[in-house]
Each structure stands twice: as C-alpha cells, then as structure tokens.
Amino acid sequence: MSNKNISIIFTGQGSQHESMGIELIQSMEWVKHRYEISSDILGYDVIKTQSDPTKINLTQFSQPLIFIYSSILIDLFKKSFSKTILENNISLAGHSLGEYSALYFSNALDFESMLRLVSLRGNSMANVSDPNKFGMFAILTKEKINTEIFNEDVFLANINSDKQVVICGTKKDLEDFKEKNKIGKYIPLNVSAPFHSKLMEDSSNIFLSSAKNFTFKDSSYDLISNHNLINYKNLNTKDYSKQLAKQIFSTVEWSSTINNFISNGTNDFYEIGPKKTLLNFLPRKDEIKTYTFCSFEDIDNYV
C-alpha cells in the first residue's frame, strides 16, 4: 500500500450549487461554525448568498463559496483517510480555482488566510467582467483538437483533454472563429470574463499587489500548477503568490497534468469539490480507478 501512487484533484469554478454544505451544517457543529466564520470574513451571509441565483454564479461570490465547501470536504477527507490514503505517494492538482483547494490540502495556508486569498482572486478577476463584451466556449470534438488554429484574438483558456478545450475572447471574435472553424460542438459557458487569457493581466496585477503579503508554508505534497506544470515543492514560498498571479492569465494545462500523473504510475484518482467534473476528463482505461468526495452521500460512505 505504501508504494501506491494516488492523485487528488480539485474542482474549480462552475461546480457551485445552492445546496453546498447544507446537510453537513445540519449534522456537524464545526461545519456550521466554519460557515459563520466565513460570513464574518467575507462580510456577507454565505448560505444566503449561495441561495441567491443572481449571485451564486458571479465570480466574486462563486469562488469563495466553492472554496469554503471544498475546504470542509478536504478536512473530512483527511480525517477519513488519515491511516490509508494519506500514507501513500500523493500528488495534487486543482483546475483553475481548484489550485487554491489543492494548496489548502497541502497546508500552504490555514483556512482563514486561504479564504481571504480566494476572495481577493474572485474580486480581482471580476474587475474584467462584462457579460455584454466577453464570452467563453467549451469545444467538444470526436478527434484530437489541433491547437494551432487558435489566434491572437481567440485564446485557449483550458486544455481539458485531447477532445475538449475551452476558448475565450470578445463575443464578436468568438462568433467569427466559430464560423471559420466548424471543428465540433461549441457550448457557451455561463461566465462574463475571458478567464485564463492575456485579457486578465490587469486582474493578475491587482491580485498580486495584495497576494504578495500572504505568508505561505511549504507544500506538504507534490502539487502541480496549471501554469507550466510547475511543482510548488520546487518553488520558494515567497514565489507562490507570483505563480498564482500568472495562473490567472495562463492556459490551464489540465490534460498534460493528468497525463504526467498517469505516466508516473498513478492509477487511482480522487476528486474533491462540489461536483464530479474532472474525473470525466480522464482517459478510459481499465486500470484507472476513480473516486468522488463531493457530496453528503459520498462523505457518509466513508466517515
């Protein structure tokens, strides 16, 4: 068991839903207390906010809401598997916002500090938000996507798998691109900013101006960043905030991250977050085993 390679991956923005944490609040006092602390830190009632359909999908709210719930799942996961999974060779990665959950799992910041950092990120990224100007599309294809077709006007935001990428840009540029490149199914995403593109550089600078004041601890595990697949264990903690700032305007290299985990002998993948999303991007191989830790039902099966 001790030689087993396990990867734990963390869900990002888009996985939020209004029932996050409700059942856990009702059954665990410390979870209720965490939501109370979170409301004090953020300056608004977390549960009321995630129940408000006009707010839950806004970046400045959805990012901290997702992290709060993910942090609770992380703490329950660690408690449940302290003498089994956590004694194995563990590697971590999070998709976009999920990188912050991965850092929390890896003990880089305590909960309160990480929530403040996530809130800073959400607010910084919301500065570029304009639903009338910007858009994002997921592209689903049957064949491997040739990424060379993307240009300086349409940006490659996420490479989720060989057959799914996410693009962003102005709505006009995206529509022009769709007309010229009928390569698969285009699915519009419910976002209002061009995430993970050079159009987010101002947001990155705003974020870094405050994020550089956070004091990180060394990552306890191998943790692969979305930006250039850099391992946080190979970074000085003073550079963590710089890495996170670059991640805001860089392509999420998710497919390469997963392929690296598999090539290093990982067959067991656990997903932690509000919804099962990332496990769907894994290659379909008999030797790959997947597990979710996303809901009250999942937790009840282990705790």
Q: Say whether both 260 and 165 belong to one domain.
A: no
Q: Say whether both 150 and 289 belong to one domain.
A: no
Tally of structural domains, the chain: 2
3-state secondary structure of 264: coil
Q: Say whether both 49 and 175 belong to one domain.
A: no
Q: Say whether both 255 and 121 belong to one domain.
A: yes
Q: Say whether both 167 and 278 belong to one domain.
A: no
Q: Any idea which residues carry the catalytic annotation?
A: 96, 196
Note down pLDDT in tens along the chain; length 303 residues.
346 899 999 999 989 999 999 999 999 999 999 999 999 999 999 999 999 999 999 999 999 999 999 999 999 999 988 777 878 899 999 999 999 999 999 999 999 999 999 999 999 999 998 888 999 999 999 888 888 888 789 999 999 998 999 999 999 999 999 999 999 999 998 787 899 999 999 999 999 999 999 999 999 999 999 999 999 999 999 999 999 999 999 999 999 999 999 999 999 999 999 999 999 999 888 899 999 999 888 877 776
Q: Say whether both 111 and 171 belong to one domain.
A: no
Q: Say whether both 100 and 203 belong to one domain.
A: yes
Q: Say whether both 202 and 216 belong to one domain.
A: yes
pTM for this model (two decimals): 0.95
Q: Which residue range forms the structural domain that includes residue 166?
A: 134-188
Helix axes 111-126, 240-249, angle to 10 degrees: 30
Provide the CATH number for the domain around residue 139: 3.30.70
CA dihedral 146, 149, 199, 106 (to 10 degrees): 10
Q: Say whether both 113 and 218 belong to one domain.
A: yes
Q: Say whether both 86 and 222 belong to one domain.
A: yes
Helices (H), 132-287: 171-180, 201-211, 240-249, 254-263
